[in-house]
A and B are shown apart, each in its own frame.
Chain A
C-alpha cells in the first residue's frame, strides 16, 4: 500500500513511537505530583517544552501542549476573544480556513462578534489590500492559515503581520498545522500565536501545541487544576508532549531535505497531470507548499477515484479528510472557483516522510490505469 494522504494524518515515526512507549513505561508519574516520579515527569515535560520553544522562537512558558490542532485553534479564538472584550469585537479570518477555525468564528459571531472573511484568488491566496481595508481599530483577532490544507496555497504571513500590527492592536493567529516542518514558520515571522498539530508531523494523534509571544493576552477555556501555567488544565500528557517535541525537532531538521524531494515530486506530478490534457485540472498553485498536489478530474466524482485508486493500493483523499464524508463541494474549492466540470472530482495527493520516489512512479502508473478504466474514451 502506498500512503499519499499525509495532509490528513501521518504514520508515527518509529523513533517517536519508541520515545512515547518508553515515557509511558518509565516516566508515568503525574507531572504535577510532588514525589520524585512526578518531579522527574515534570523535568522531562520541561525539556520537551524547551525544545519546542526553541523551534518556534517562543519562551518555554508560552508553549502550551494541547490535544491537537482543533483544540489549539479553538483556544486561540475563544481565548483571545475572551481576553480582549474591552478592546473590541471584530475578527478577521479567511474564507478557506479549516472548519475548526471557521466554526469557532461562527460561534463567536453568534455571541455578537463581527467576523470578516477574506476572499482568496484562484491560487488560494488572500489579498493584502483586502486585509488592509478590513482591518479596524477594534479588530481583536486576525487568523490566517499558513498553508491551505486542501490545495497547498501559501499565505503571505510576514506581510500580513506587518499590516495587522501597523493598523491595529489585534492578535495575529496563524494556523501552521499544514506548514510546520514543511516551510519555515516561527513567531519571528510575525504571528503572535501559532498552532501546530502533532499527527501531521509523524507524532501522535491527540497532541498539539499553541505557541505564543509573551505579550499575548489570552484566557484559558479549559479550566481545572491549573496545569500548563493555568492556560490548559488537565493532567499533561507527558508522553505525547515528548513525542511531539521529538517529531517537531526531526521535522525541522529534515525540512530542507524534504522540501527538496517533495518539490521534485510535486513538479513531476504537475508535468504528469498536465500531460493528461483537459481530463485533469491541476488545482494546487505551482508556488504552493511542496507536499500537497490537488487536482480536479473532469466528470468524475472524487469519491469514485479514491475507491478506484485504493483498489490498486494507493491511498489519497478528496480535498480534505474532514470534508470528504460530506456530499457538498468543499468551501475551499468554492472559494477558489474551481471550474464546474472539475469541482466534484477533486483529489489531494500529499507527501510525508515515509514516501519514496518509487511511490510517485507507481502513483502515475496506477492513475493512468484507473483513468483508462473509469473513462473509456480516455486514450493515453
Chain B
C-alpha cells in the first residue's frame, strides 16, 4: 500500500491565538468521534497540522471519503512513506506522479527534519525533481506557483511524500462555539439547520417530540437515522425523545383548533427550554424559515418565542425552501427526510391554523388549562439516545443474500 497517513491542515482556528490548543484538541476528538465505527485512530497533532495514521487501504478510503465532511479542516492530503534512501524516495515519488496523466506544473519541496540524512535539502530537491522530469514528459517545473507541490519530509523514522491537496469542509470544529439544543422534527429543514450551526462550531443535542400511536416507530426511526447522519460532521449528538401524546391530546381538547398549533409550538418550546437547561446548552436551534408555513410567520414566531428568553437560533430564517433542499441533498439528509412517515406536526395540524395569532389571545385560551405538570412529566420521562452508535447496525439480512 502506498499511502500511510493523512495530513490535515486546520481551518479558521489557525488565527485564534491562545485558544488554539483547545481547538486542536477539539478537532482531534471530533475526528475520533466521527470514526467511532472504525477501530481507534492514531492521531498526531502539531502546531499547524495533524496526522492520522492508517494501516489498511480500506481504512484509508473510509478516511478520505469522510474527512471532507468534518468541520474545522481547511484541507488535507494523503501521505506516502518511503525508506530513508534516495532510490526508495524516488520510487514512491514516481508512483505518486504517475497518477497525474495530464500535463501539470510541479515543484519538489523538501523538509529535512532528520539532519543526519546524507543529502542536503536542495540536493534532495534537485535529485528527485530531475528524476521525475526524465521519467514523465508531461511534467514541467514551476517553482513559484506549481499546480502540484510534491512535498518530501525526511523525518527520523522514514521519509514522507505528499502531493495534491483536497479541500476540507472549512468552518470551525464542532464544540468550539458552545452547545445548543436542536429541535429535530424529521423534516427537511432541521437537519440542514443542524449542519449550518455545526459548521460554526456549535455542538448540538437534539430534541424530538414523539406522539405514539399517532406517529409510528418508523417516524421515530427516521429521526434517529437523521441524528446519526448529523454526526458525520464530527460530533457526538444525544437525542432526547419526548413523549408528547398526552400534552398534544390535552391541547386538542382545551384550546380552539385554529390556535392549537401555536399552543403546541409554545409547549414544545417550553419543554425544549427545560431540557436545554438540564443538559447545559446555551441556545435552542430550529429549522424555521420565515413565512414557510403558518407557524413560521413573524407573528407566530413572536407568540411561540414568548415562552422563553433563551436565544432561539434560526439559521434557515432567510433561506428559500429550494435552497434548503439543495443543502439537504448535498449533506445527504434529504433522502431520509422525505420518507413518508407522519410526524406529530402533520397529524394534529388543524385545517385552518391562524397565520397571525395574537399572543394575548393564545395566552388567554391556554390560561384555563394546567400544562406545567404534564410538561415536567414529559421532560422527566424522555428517552435519550447517543450517536454515532458504536456498533454499526448488524446486517441481519447479509446471510440471506
Contact = CB atoms under 8 A, between A and B. Distances in A.
Interface stretch (A43-51, A166-174, A265-273): A43-51
Nearest to B341: A34
B400 interface: yes
A249 B218 contact: no
Q: Is the interface of A mostly helix, strand, loop or mixed?
A: helix
A34 B218 CA distance: 9
Contacts of B253: none
A178 to B, nearest CB: 24
B217 A246 contact: no
Contacts of A246: 400-401
A245 interface: yes
Contacts of A47: 397, 401
Contacts of B217: 36
Nearest to A248: B401
A48 B401 contact: yes
Nearest to B340: A34
Interface in B141-159: none
Question: Secondary structure at chain B's binding surface: helix, strand, loop or mixed?
Answer: helix
A19 interface: yes
Contacts of A22: 400
A287 B170 CA distance: 58
A268 to B, nearest CB: 35
Interface in A241-265: 242, 245-246, 249
Interface residues of B, number: 7
Nearest to A22: B400
B216 interface: yes
Nearest to A43: B397
A23 interface: yes
Q: Which of B216, B217, B218, B401 has the most CB of A within 10 A?
A: B401
B336 to A, nearest CB: 14
A51 B400 CA distance: 12
A279 interface: no
A231 to B, nearest CB: 20
A39 interface: yes
A52 to B, nearest CB: 10
B217 to A, nearest CB: 6
A5 B153 CA distance: 66
Interface of B: 216-218, 397, 399-401
Interface of A: 19, 22-23, 34, 36, 39, 43-44, 47-48, 51, 242, 245-246, 249
Given A48-B401, A242-B400, 5 more contacts: A19-B399, A34-B216, A34-B218, A39-B218, A43-B397
12 contacts: A19-B399, A19-B401, A23-B400, A39-B218, A44-B400, A48-B401, A51-B401, A242-B400, A245-B401, A246-B400, A246-B401, A249-B401
